[in-house]
Chains A and B, each alone.
Chain A
Amino acid sequence: MLRTNVNRGKRVNQIDSSKKKVNHVEFDAHWYRRIFHTFGASFLVYYLLPDLERINFFKFWIPILLVSFALFLECSRVKGKIDSGHFFGLRMYEKKRFGSYLYFGVGVLILLLFFPQQIAVPCILCACIVDPIMGELRNIVGKKQVYIIGFLICMFLFLITWHKANIWIMFLVSIVGAAAAVLSEVNKLWWLDDDFTIQIVPAVLLLIIWIIISYFGFAPPEPIIYSW
């Protein structure tokens, strides 16, 4: 009996000390934001999920519910019902407007639900990978080099997604998509976050190309991710 009480006491002490430790840890908001970005690439697992009626129901509603929840949180924060201090890693300009993560989520949601996979995949990857890489490179190299490297990485992402297409279409899509993604990232607006525009602007342009090539009798490429 006595031993059990001692063990319980030890466990309580351990929990208390780990809680204290956790409360004292300070996060580097900078790197936290960066890994939040790259984490977004894992949403592509969506395309691996089986194409079954029951699962499609969840594939449609779960992303909507998640983004709606984020929208609710952000509305409450902007209205002042929830303190901004509860949201880690926010920037100054996000104090009085929605956080970037919401724009990012809305962009991903639109792409996953309303765009073909061949367009959605490279656009999501541009926001997840190219945006943080360009952000980091800004501290190391000059502006021009940042744009060139960003453009080349974007182009690579579009090339791997459209590698099954006609070679001319593949290059056209890669150049247009990469240019649109880099320009969207460069032109920062206060009211519209680049995490949204870097996804949607190239996606809209690619959709126009998609419609035009279909009109001229070219088949769009096969998807690169096949559901289970």
Chain B
Amino acid sequence: MKNKEMYYLKLKRSDKSTVRTEILFAPLLIIFPIFVGILFIYDWFYRGFLTCSPAFDGELILGIVILVANILFDIPFIESLSRNIKGK
């Protein structure tokens, strides 16, 4: 694929208000995966750790993977968002 095709489609001035939908969507994109990651860890703690069952260890690792991966990308996203807000 050509590099030019990897560019993002630019919004027209009149389309700018549609970005609002994405802003309303952003908290869900950030919070829900963190919630799911914590849920996996909680499930491991409740059903695995407290009952000394190693069967749930996978859920712990999965929870950590989901949390770390999301936080890793959430930080630059929030930074870029705050930069854009300040820039206006």
Residue pairs across A and B with CB atoms within 8 Å: the count is 151
Query: 19 interchain pairs (CB within 8 A)?
Result: A26-B88, A35-B73, A35-B77, A37-B73, A39-B32, A41-B36, A41-B69, A42-B35, A42-B37, A44-B40, A44-B66, A85-B12, A87-B9, A91-B5, A92-B4, A92-B5, A94-B9, A132-B73, A161-B58
- Whether a CB of chain B sits under 8 angstroms from the CB of A129 is yes
Q: State in angstroms the CA–CA spacing of A29 and B77 once bound together.
A: 9
Q: Which 4 A-B pairs have CB atoms at the shortest separation, nearest pair first?
A: A224-B58, A85-B15, A28-B80, A93-B5
CB within 8 A of A27: which of B22, B72, B88? B22
Cβ of A89: which chain B residues have Cβ within 8 Å of it?
8, 22
CB within 8 A of A29: which of B8, B32, B35, B74? B8
Interface 1/0 per residue, B61-75 and A, CB below 8 Å: 110011001101110
Cβ of A129: which chain B residues have Cβ within 8 Å of it?
65, 69
Cβ of A60: which chain B residues have Cβ within 8 Å of it?
none
- Whether a CB of chain B sits under 8 angstroms from the CB of A157 is yes
Q: State in angstroms the CA–CA spacing of A86 and B16 once bound together.
A: 9
Residues from 174 to 226 in A contacting B, C-beta threshold 8 Å? 188, 190, 222, 224-226
Q: Is there an interface contact between A35 and B30, defined as CB atoms closer than 8 Å?
A: yes
Cβ of A163: which chain B residues have Cβ within 8 Å of it?
58
Cβ of B33: which chain A residues have Cβ within 8 Å of it?
38-39, 41-42
Q: Which of B5, B9, B66 has the most CB of A within 10 A?
A: B9
- Whether a CB of chain B sits under 8 angstroms from the CB of A59 is no
CB within 8 A of A225: which of B4, B9, B58? B58
Interface 1/0 per residue, A11-34 and B, CB below 8 Å: 000000000011111111111101
**B residues lining the A interface (CB < 8 Å):** 1, 4-9, 11-12, 14-23, 26, 28-30, 32-33, 35-37, 39-40, 43, 47, 55-56, 58-59, 61-62, 65-66, 69-70, 72-74, 76-77, 80-81, 84-85, 87-88
Q: State in angstroms the CA–CA spacing of A83 and B10 once bound together.
A: 12
Shortest CB distance A158–B (Å): 12
Q: Is there an interface contact between B29 and A88, defined as CB atoms closer than 8 Å?
A: no
Shortest CB distance B19–A (Å): 6
Interface size on A, residues (CB 8 A): 54
Q: Is there an interface contact between A24 and B6, defined as CB atoms closer than 8 Å?
A: no
Q: Is there an interface contact between B58 and A39, defined as CB atoms closer than 8 Å?
A: no
Q: State in angstroms the CA–CA spacing of A169 and B11 once bound together.
A: 49
Q: State in angstroms the CA–CA spacing of A86 and B15 once bound together.
A: 7
Shortest CB distance A43–B (Å): 9
Q: Is there an interface contact between A39 and B22, defined as CB atoms closer than 8 Å?
A: no
Residues from 140 to 196 in A contacting B, C-beta threshold 8 Å? 157, 160-161, 163-164, 188, 190
- Whether a CB of chain B sits under 8 angstroms from the CB of A65 is no
Cβ of B1: which chain A residues have Cβ within 8 Å of it?
93, 188, 190
Q: Is there an interface contact between B18 and A86, defined as CB atoms closer than 8 Å?
A: yes
